[in-house]
Structure formats: C-alpha cells, structure tokens
C-alpha cells in the first residue's frame, strides 16, 4: 500500500511539473515523436538519453550549451525551472 501511495504522489508531482512545459512548441521543429533534426541542425532528440536531454535543456537556459541553435533555444526554455526541464526530459528520448 505504501509503495502505491508513493508512486501516485510521484506521478502527480511529475505531471504537475510537466504541465508547464509546452511540448507542442518543441514538436513544431523536432517532430511529433522528436524524430527530426530541428531546422536540419540539431541532434535527433529521440536518440538522446533523458539525462542528455536535461543537460541540453538546462544548458540552453544558462547559455552554456549549443551551437547554431543556442540563441533560439534559450528563448524557448528560459521560462521553465530546472525541475520542470528535468521532468519534461524524462518523458522524451530514451
């Protein structure tokens, strides 16, 4: 019973954090299943690990990650907390 309650609480917390991330905006460039190179320049997000995605998103936010897409992506992720970006990263990639 304790495991079930803990799992439900964790799921609710993750869902609440994800609610802030607009995945639709991501899918516009990265594809419905994150299978595309955004604007022909990015990595294919579907091939990245959850940890690598989180690192990339937080790096874009800090301005410490990325090449050609650095400026564009910073604007996309700047409004999200690191916790929101971590939670979102766990829902995509591998």
Per domain, the residue ranges of the chain are: 2-89
Band of pLDDT at residue 68, cut at 50, 70 and 90: confident
Chain-wide mean pLDDT for the chain?
A: 85
From the options 3.30.70, 3.40.390, 1.10.760, 3.40.50, give the CATH code of 2-89.
1.10.760
CA distance 1 to 8: 11
Higher pLDDT, 68 or 32: 32
pLDDT above 60: residue 14 = no
């Amino acid at each position: 019973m304790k495991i079930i309650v803990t799992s439900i609480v964790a799921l609710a917390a993750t869902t609440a954090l994800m609610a802030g991330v607009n995945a639709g905006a991501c899918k516009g460039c990265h594809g419905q299943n994150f299978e595309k190179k955004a604007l022909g320049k990015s990595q294919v997000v579907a091939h990245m690990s959850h940890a690598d995605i989180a690192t990339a998103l937080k790096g874009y936010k800090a301005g410490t990650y990325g090449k050609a897409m650095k400026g564009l992506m910073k604007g996309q992720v700047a409004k999200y907390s690191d916790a929101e970006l971590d939670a979102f990263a766990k829902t995509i990639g591998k």
